[in-house]
Chains A and B, each alone.
Chain A
């Protein structure tokens, strides 16, 4: 009985540590851009990943789609909350680029890549830290919403007040000339 209990504890420990490892993110790998769970108003997206130890990473990008009336459709960007983990399980991940490998040989390197002509939707950036054999040691995921470029232009951008009339401007200039600024 005692032996069975010990064996059970050992097996559970191994299982739990494996689960813990596969869910853990690599502290030496940070996605600088895009900021996780942010919205980008552009068809182009710059990915910048900071690596602070010598290691190899594999970068994959997916578009998350969901089944709507039997058709895979782009995820509606409003009013989705990508931080809601329950909603993510209903997605189908469509690869946008093939896995790109990057090896850092010092204690500070950056992986950068631009993705062009992205359509509106939800995207997931997956970064796997791999060892020499290709086994995944850590995995980081980051979500970003891509919206049409025009959406930003419609935002309220009242940067300037209405300029003063010509007479008032003239008087102001005269006063400035007499009394200085």
Chain B
């Protein structure tokens, strides 16, 4: 009697397994997904994923010591913005303290008032993009009051000793300036400014002081640096088949089910899943471009930092945040494009810094990720590879004095004018003095960095130290030591 019972039990078990298999297979077909999305890769667990706060850094922190004395904190000293160390003062920590006040009033002020108050002893962190203020407060655990509702975005945040109970915020998207007034001063921003002054600083002055033109952007008096030219390689070359395959597998799985591979006449390789729902393009210049059709039907827009987390994780599992050969660079958000017309998509452009110095490309960007409703719909990767040890030994050599920024402009104003005048009427046949004043007044930023030219051959490619002049939609690059033009890029 027990035999038939056992057989029945086995039959029941088989039926259950068959039923579950049917449900799983139906899921694959209806949700149009693949096995590798469910399976856990070892790489996925071990890959280093940068934190949102690590890549969210102001493009510059301006410190005014009063009476026309300034300095600009470089990107690599991000601890002034946000620090994990308990004994280190930072802007975020002080903003948190400010938020503890019981009554905070928010009033809109004018640009003139904002500029005027920041001329006194002050500190101002400026981003090159804007972040939704509500999401910013959530991410940095800043206590939010109802009075903050009028502030939609944050692009800059500042403190001035002339108004010690206040903080100042600029919303670049809406061109609005705000003053947040607390009932008393709980912060130690003044201590932060004093500590920067006491440590010694590189002096900066407004361009107006050097050149006598109407322009308040700050430039250094002089630059001493250990930056040098160094050779770089593409992230991958077309003959590196294993490397390219490994990259493609991270998108389509090891078996490449339903994936076609097309090689074009110019050497470009295209991987296409299905009828183009997912496409990976491997370019001959070493860059990768990935596009995925939107499948989410949700109408809810993802929060800014949630979208950023998705972007950070996606890159870490599709190529990583290092070069494909493992050279470490430090990513930071360079630009953000929040497009509510495209179903709430957020496009993050990431820059990289090499040994604390930002890297600029003559063409393109290091990494671009677009997140739409929780899904990565676009990913462009154009990293470089180089010998880290060689770079470290080069930079260990003695410092050199860079070409004066002021004379770099004086030497090249006609060249700059020629670039910004391309295809623009009304900017021809002007007197040299007028050209100089026009160029000097239009410059919106000057900084130093590393410059990667467009790849021309596979052997002699060098990244070089440069001055970067930002004017209208252009970044124009000049050799840091002799001020010769080396190229330009357009936004």
Contacts and interface: CB of A to CB of B under 8 A. Distances in A.
Contacts of B406: 48, 110, 112
Interface of A: 30, 32-33, 40-42, 44, 46, 48, 50, 106-110, 112, 114, 149, 152-153, 157, 159-160, 163-166, 169-170, 173, 176-177
Interface stretch (B11-19, B123-131, B202-210): B202-210
Interface in B115-154: 116-117, 120, 146-147, 149-150
Residue of A33, A109, A165 most packed against chain B (CB within 10 A): A33
Interface in B188-239: 203, 205, 209-212, 221
A165 B69 CA distance: 35
Contacts of A30: 212
A112 B150 contact: no
B210 A110 contact: yes
A34 to B, nearest CB: 9
B203 to A, nearest CB: 6
A149 B66 contact: yes
B67 A42 contact: yes
Given A112-B210, A169-B106, A169-B147, A163 B410 contact: no
B109 A110 contact: no
A151 B116 CA distance: 17
Contacts of B44: none
A30 B413 CA distance: 19
Contacts of A169: 105-107, 147
Nearest to B414: A108
B69 A42 contact: yes
Contact of A110 (B117, B120, B203, B404): B404
B67 A152 contact: yes
A114 B221 contact: yes
B212 A163 contact: no
B148 to A, nearest CB: 10
A163 B104 CA distance: 10
Interface residues of B, number: 36
Contact of B147 (A106, A157, A173): A173
Contacts of A32: 209-212
Contacts of B162: 153, 157, 159
Given A48-B212, A112-B210, A159-B116, 6 more contacts: A32-B211, A152-B67, A159-B113, A163-B181, A164-B105, A166-B103
Contacts of A160: 109, 113, 117, 163, 179
A153 B105 contact: no
B379 interface: no
Contacts of A106: 410-411
Residue of A40, A160, A164 most packed against chain B (CB within 10 A): A160
22 contacts: A41-B68, A46-B205, A46-B209, A46-B221, A48-B209, A48-B211, A48-B212, A48-B406, A107-B432, A110-B404, A110-B410, A112-B221, A152-B66, A157-B120, A159-B116, A160-B179, A163-B107, A163-B181, A166-B147, A169-B107, A170-B147, A177-B149
B410 A108 contact: yes
A163 B179 CA distance: 9
Contacts of B407: 109-110
B327 to A, nearest CB: 38
B436 interface: yes
Nearest to A31: B212
B107 A164 contact: yes
A109 B408 CA distance: 9
Interface in B238-293: none
A40 B150 CA distance: 40
Given A112-B221, A112-B406, A33 B179 contact: no
Interface in B157-185: 162-163, 179, 181
Contacts of A110: 210-211, 404, 406-407, 410
A44 B203 contact: yes
Contacts of B210: 32-33, 46, 48, 110, 112
Contacts of B106: 169
Nearest to A176: B150
Nearest to B436: A108
Interface in B80-110: 103, 105-107, 109
A16 to B, nearest CB: 33
Contacts of A166: 103, 105, 147
A32 B432 CA distance: 18
B420 to A, nearest CB: 18
A113 to B, nearest CB: 9
A27 to B, nearest CB: 13
A41 B221 contact: no
Contact of B66 (A46, A153, A173): A153
A33 B105 contact: no
Contacts of B149: 173, 177
B68 A163 contact: no
Contacts of B105: 163-166, 169
Contacts of B116: 159
Contact of A33 (B120, B212, B411, B413): B212
Contacts of A112: 210, 221, 404, 406
